[in-house]
């Protein structure tokens, strides 16, 4: 047998090091959880932030949120198709994504509902007992009533009540419902109409009037996975998790009506 020289030993060690560097261990490759991009309505910000760690732990994933007005999110999805899950604040914008052929239809479900509330700055002496009391206000803060779900719902209630023609010229439109809330908090508006869930998280405003369910519009938050994305199966699991018993109590805690129809 030919003896192994020091040069051969060195070459063998270098070859082994090169092979190990070229092929990383399987454990290292699998250690990064799959990333799921969730486009969600701004009014869901706080509850989703609370739920995210539990969802990530249960499913072994990493959630990345893009939060904003549902109309803007839907347009982003249609333009670039970068979302894995869409959690909208109304059915119309979800329908538009579906019409573009981007929605995973079987995963879609109407998951939540909400109520509208009239709010004012905490120090305000304003009293609102009916929609008619909004007539004569200098500024009324709404999310954009032509596009943003919270604003569309508010406009529908005011139209049904017959006061929209008298208040529409005094509306201060905002990019989303959280911006409408901020306008009231800062005193830029005498009053505003937002979701009761948004009003509940603020210490700078008070609720003057909660719109009765029978008087208000039907508010629906649909959720669905997006088709033709690389992690569709995982996205469907995320939708199922938010629709399941783990998430329900948190949605209720934040004031949403949770419509669990199974997973």
Mean pLDDT of 129-136: 96
> In 3-state terms, what secondary structure has residue 63?
strand
Quick check: 9 pLDDT over 90?
Answer: no
pLDDT, tens digit (0-9, with 9 covering 90-100), for 28-70: 455 799 999 999 999 999 999 999 999 999 999 999 999 999 9
Domain extent, residue 87, equals: 33-113+220-258
Q: How many CA atoms lie within 13 A of 183 on its CB side?
A: 23
Across the chain, mean pLDDT equals: 91
- Give the contacts of 161 (CB within 8 A, at least 6 positions apart): 130, 131, 132, 215
Give the CA angle between residues 144, 69, 149 to the nearest 5°.
55
Domain count, the chain: 2
pLDDT tens, residue by residue, 83-118: 999 999 999 999 999 999 999 999 999 999 999 999
Q: Are residue 181 and residue 244 in the same domain, yes or no?
A: no
Question: 175 and 53 in one domain?
Answer: no
Residue 180 maps to a domain? yes
If asked whether residues 99 and 141 sit together in one domain, one would say no
Spatial distance between the Cα atoms of 223 and 218, rounded to a whole number of angstroms? 16
pTM exceeds cut of 0.95:
no
> Do 42 and 100 reside in the same domain of the chain?
yes
> What is d(CA 237, CA 260) in angstroms, rounded to the nearest whole number?
15
Stretch among 23-32, 73-82, 123-132 having the lowest mean pLDDT = 23-32
Q: Taking Cα atoms as reference points, which of 70, 80, 213 lies closest to residue 147? A: 70
* Domain of residue 103, CATH code: 3.40.190.10
């Amino acid at each position: 047998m030919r003896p192994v020289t020091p040069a051969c030993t060195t070459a063998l060690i270098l070859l082994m090091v090169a092979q190990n560097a070229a092929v990383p261990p399987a454990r290292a490759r699998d250690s990064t959880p799959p990333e799921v991009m969730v486009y969600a309505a701004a009014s869901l910000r706080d509850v989703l932030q609370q739920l995210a760690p539990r969802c990530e732990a249960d499913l072994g994933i990493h959630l990345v949120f893009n939060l904003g007005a549902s109309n803007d999110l839907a347009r982003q999805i249609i333009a670039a198709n970068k979302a894995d899950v869409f959690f909208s604040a109304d059915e119309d914008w979800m329908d538009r994504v579906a019409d573009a052929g981007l929605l995973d239809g079987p995963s879609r479900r109407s998951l939540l509902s909400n109520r509208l509330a009239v709010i004012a700055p905490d120090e305000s002496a304003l009293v609102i007992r009916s929609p008619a009391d909004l007539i004569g206000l200098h500024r009324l803060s709404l999310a954009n009533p032509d596009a943003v779900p919270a604003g569309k719902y508010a406009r529908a209630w005011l139209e049904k009540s017959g006061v929209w023609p008298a208040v529409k010229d005094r509306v201060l439109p905002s990019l989303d419902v959280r911006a409408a809330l901020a306008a009231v908090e800062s005193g830029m508006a005498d009053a505003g109409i937002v979701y009761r869930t948004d009003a509940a998280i603020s210490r700078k405003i008070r609720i003057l009037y909660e719109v009765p369910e029978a008087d208000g519009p039907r508010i629906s938050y649909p959720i669905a996975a997006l088709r033709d994305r690389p992690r569709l199966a995982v996205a469907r699991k995320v939708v199922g998790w938010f629709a399941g018993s783990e998430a329900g109590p948190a949605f209720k805690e934040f004031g949403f009506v949770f419509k669990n129809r199974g997973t």
